[in-house]
Amino acid sequence: MKILIIGEQGSGKTTLRKLMEDQDFMDGFSTSDFLISLMSNINNISEEVIRANKEQYRSQLVDMGNQLCDIYPGIIVAACLLASFDDNVIIDGVRRKNEFESVAHMFDKIFYVYRPGSEAASTDNFELHEYRNDPRVEVLVNDGYPADLYNAAIGKLKSA
């Protein structure tokens, strides 16, 4: 099963991905991880330094992701899918409409993680707010503990 997780910065999408990787033995990838690796290679900076100072590099990462997405929508997701050695893969981090529309058909399930009351960061380039109402997307409200979010996702997978 291929699962895509979308949501605003800080909504819990990466937390959910990591829980599903650990609990369900799925390959997991983040588009942010791809961009961090790319930035590391281009600028000869270690990935660890970029991760430790992610807020310092965030605008550059967003710009790089936007440029790739404008030229080749879906290329980052395609690279993540190619990196998986398993048909069970979970990816988080799609942020732009053109990117989403170019990859949505590749996934068996799409989750939108929504955290009530959270404010989007000024550097966030998330364009998918209206996709909470899209019939291709299952909304998961993150208003509790990580285990609650995980259980909600598993419940939606079992009811499908």
pLDDT tens digits along 62-121: 999 999 999 999 999 999 898 887 888 999 989 999 999 999 999 999 999 999 887 665
* pLDDT for 25: 79
* pLDDT for 31: 92
CA angle in degrees (0–180, nearest 5) for 52-21-93: 55
> What is the CATH classification number for the domain harbouring 18?
3.40.50.300
How many domains does the structure of the chain reveal? 1
Which tokens in the block code for residue 77? 């997701």
Q: What does pLDDT average to over the chain? A: 91
HSE (CB half, 13 Å, CA atoms) of 22?
Answer: 9
pLDDT at 122 over 60: no
CB 62 within 8 A of CB 99: no
* pLDDT for 147: 94
Nearest to 32 by CA among 56, 11, 12, 50: 50
Task: State how far the Cα of 128 lies from the Cα of 7, in Å rounded to an integer.
Answer: 8
- Structural domain for 143, as ranges: 2-159
Helix axes 31-43, 54-71, angle to 10 degrees: 100
